[in-house]
Amino acid sequence: MSEILVGVDGSAPADAAVAWAAREAVRRGVRVRLTHVGGPLGDDSTAVLAGEVVRSTAPAVEVETEFVTGKAAEELLKRASAADLVVLGTHGHGPVASLVVGSVALAVAGASPVPVVLVKDHDPQREAGPVVVGVADQPSRRVLDAADREATLRGGELRLTHAWFEPPVESFGAPAPMPPTDPGPVVGALRERLTGELAPWLGRPEARVTVAPGHPKDVLIAASGDAALVVVGRHEKPGRRIRALGATTHGLIRKAACPVMVVGDEEE
């Protein structure tokens, strides 16, 4: 049976991830596997308690719990290939941890062979919102397909969102050329070009292209305001063994108002 893998540690974001995964399991018709990774003196009590969150959220969903010893990111990545989806809280315990994205979340999202959803909190009312997908200068088919599937599962809107950003350029200390004071013509031309390039994902009335001026991180954070999910790619380079999420994705995970799905751009 297909499953959603959820890493649990007893923190509030992890519990939110469990509740989100439980509702997704109903939507997808799959089971939930709850995995707690700890030291040699640990036990399965954290996973068992997380199982109660699943049962209270979605009583019909099948749940499996496990405790394993080892390094959390490594153990979760070992299990990721057997899952359809990995779901994690954005950060762990403590006042400092609550301010930054957790190292486990970043490591798993940066290397998982399947999409990873990072959850900060869970608001079921958001599920009626659109799915927003970040469209890069060179759009990734794998990322767009993943976003389209998520919108189809929810029966809602798909917003293909591109940020037009012209960073300031300095030349030998001289004032930089100013970008156009009216970005309207540039944005309109970009929207027209992308509408053609993204035609395969615009076949449904609920799908539309949005182009907004600004840094990609800021544009996507703003777009997350009423969204059910934001989908972004890793933008990895062919042949690179060690992957890292870029500053845009990192900032989005930390500040987005909704869960963020990270999808590998390449087939593994």
Six-digit token pair at 153?
A: 């599962």
Structure confidence at residue 100 (pLDDT): 46
Instruction: Identify any residues that bridge with 261 across adjacent strands, giving them in sequence order.
Output: 117, 231
Domains present along the chain, CATH in parentheses: 3-122 (3.40.50.620), 128-261 (3.40.50.620)
Mean pLDDT of 194-208: 92
Give the per-residue pLDDT at 184.
78
Tell me the average pLDDT across 258-266.
89
DSSP 44-77: SHHHHHHHHHHHHH-TTS-EEEEEEES-HHHHHH
**Is this model's pTM higher than 0.85 or not?**
yes
**Cβ burial, residue 261 (10 Å; 0-12/13-18/19+):** buried
pLDDT of residue 246: 79
Handedness of CA 239, 197, 257, 87 (dihedral sign): negative
Q: Residue 141 pLDDT > 90, yes or no?
A: yes
Looking at residues 150-164, what average pLDDT do you find?
Answer: 94
Instruction: Find the DSSP H helices in 155-232.
Output: 184-197, 216-223
Q: Residues, the chain, total?
A: 268
Query: Looking at the predicted structure, is the pLDDT value of residue 197 above 70?
Result: yes
For 83-93, the pLDDT digits (tens) are 999 999 997 55
pLDDT, one tens digit per residue, over 48-77 is: 999 999 999 999 999 999 999 999 999 999
Picking from 5, 187, 171, 166, the residue whose alpha carbon sits closest to that of residue 80 is 5
178 half-sphere exposure, CB direction, 13 A CA radius = 4
Where residue 174 falls among pLDDT bands split at 50, 70, 90? low
| Mean pLDDT of all residues in 100-122 | 89
What pLDDT was estimated at residue 145? 97
Among the residues of the chain, which ranges form H helices? 12-28, 45-57, 72-80, 103-111, 141-154, 184-197, 216-223, 247-255
Identify the three-state secondary structure at position 6: strand
First to last CA, the chain: 22
DSSP state of 146: H
